[in-house]
Amino acid sequence: MNRRAIPIRGWLLVFCVAMVLFMVYLVRDILSLVSLVNAPDSLGSPLASGISLLDMIGLVLISFGLFLIFRRRTGARRYWIGILLFAILGAILQLMLYQILVDFMIADDVGLAKVRAIITVRYTAVLLLSAIWAGYWIRSKRVRRTFGIE
């Protein structure tokens, strides 16, 4: 059977829709952070530019991964497992790094406490969702059938 004739359905379709929605979120995030980067004498500027760079890399990686899915490439499964495991590691490192940076920048600033909370929620969500989806890509029979692994 032609792999391209196999429809993308079920949780694989949910994954694709979630990745497209996450790309929209990343674009919105980049656009909102650009104002922080361009603000003169802003302590948030280095932090915002670092987050924006990671968001742009994420957009490229997700776009390429979706291309692999929709073309039914056999390497899509390995690609997404690798990307998701890398996202787990990256989320752990970013949580630690940004917590240290925020603590170092200002001790008891209310605005920075809000930034800390946002970063914690964001990367904790990335960590949990990446772990769930990595498990799906590793164990799913639909993924194996769709990409010709079984």
pTM of the model: 0.81
Question: pLDDT tens digits, residue range 24-83?
Answer: 988 887 777 666 555 555 555 556 666 677 788 989 999 999 999 999 998 999 999 999
Question: pLDDT tens digits, residue range 138-148?
Answer: 999 999 988 87
Question: pLDDT tens digits, residue range 6-21?
Answer: 788 899 999 999 999 9
What is the spatial distance between Cα 138 and Cα 84, in angstroms, rounded to a whole number? 11
Which of 70, 75, 80 lies closest to 132 in space, CA to CA?
80
What is the spatial distance between Cα 12 and Cα 137, in angstroms, rounded to a whole number? 9
| Structure confidence at residue 47 (pLDDT) | 60
Domain boundaries, the chain: 8-37+44-146
H or E element that contains 8: none
| Structure confidence at residue 98 (pLDDT) | 76
Question: pLDDT tens digits, residue range 72-128?
Answer: 998 999 999 999 999 999 889 888 887 777 666 655 565 666 767 777 888 899 999
More confident residue, 50 or 133: 133
AA letter at 45: S
| Structure confidence at residue 107 (pLDDT) | 55
Structure-token pair, residue 137: 């890509």
What is the spatial distance between Cα 4 and Cα 96, in angstroms, rounded to a whole number? 42
